[in-house]
Structure 1
Amino acid sequence: RRLLVVGDLNGTVQDRGLGPLTSRLDAPPTGFAFSWPAGLPVARIDQVLGRGAEVTEVSAREATGSDHLPVLGRVLLR
């Protein structure tokens, strides 16, 4: 079955607290796409994770007034 988990998870994919999710879902390739804080992003804590759907890319977008930058995920359905 396909499953996507998308949102502000308040942790990077390396965060041990997200282990129950990241052990069951695929994370996109590592890279920048830092999303927090919006003024000077230093971490990607907004995630796009998948199972049965490969997340091929995550990129940060322009600021919208939030304290996070929006992220765009590209997903390949298998």
Structure 2
Amino acid sequence: MLGGIAVYIISTFYWFSILKKFDLTKVYPLQSISYIVVLFFGYLMFKEPITKNTLVGTLIIVVGVFIITKQ
């Protein structure tokens, strides 16, 4: 429990330091990348199936993040 709290505190300070350097509208969509990471970790660690709908949804997220963050 304490380890989880410590990681949360560290990530909060890291997030604030990122927001000082970059625009929120550019950085916030990048959090959607976590959906992709979870998809692959779920497949590798828990042998969860990756369906066609999951892949299409993931592709939509990637394209959306790319469009938003592109300068």
Normalised by the size of structure 1, how large is the TM-score?
Answer: 0.27
Which has more radius of gyration?
2
For CA contacts below 8 A with separation 6 or more, give which structure has more relative contact order.
2
Normalised by the size of structure 2, how large is the TM-score?
Answer: 0.29
More helix as a share of residues: 2
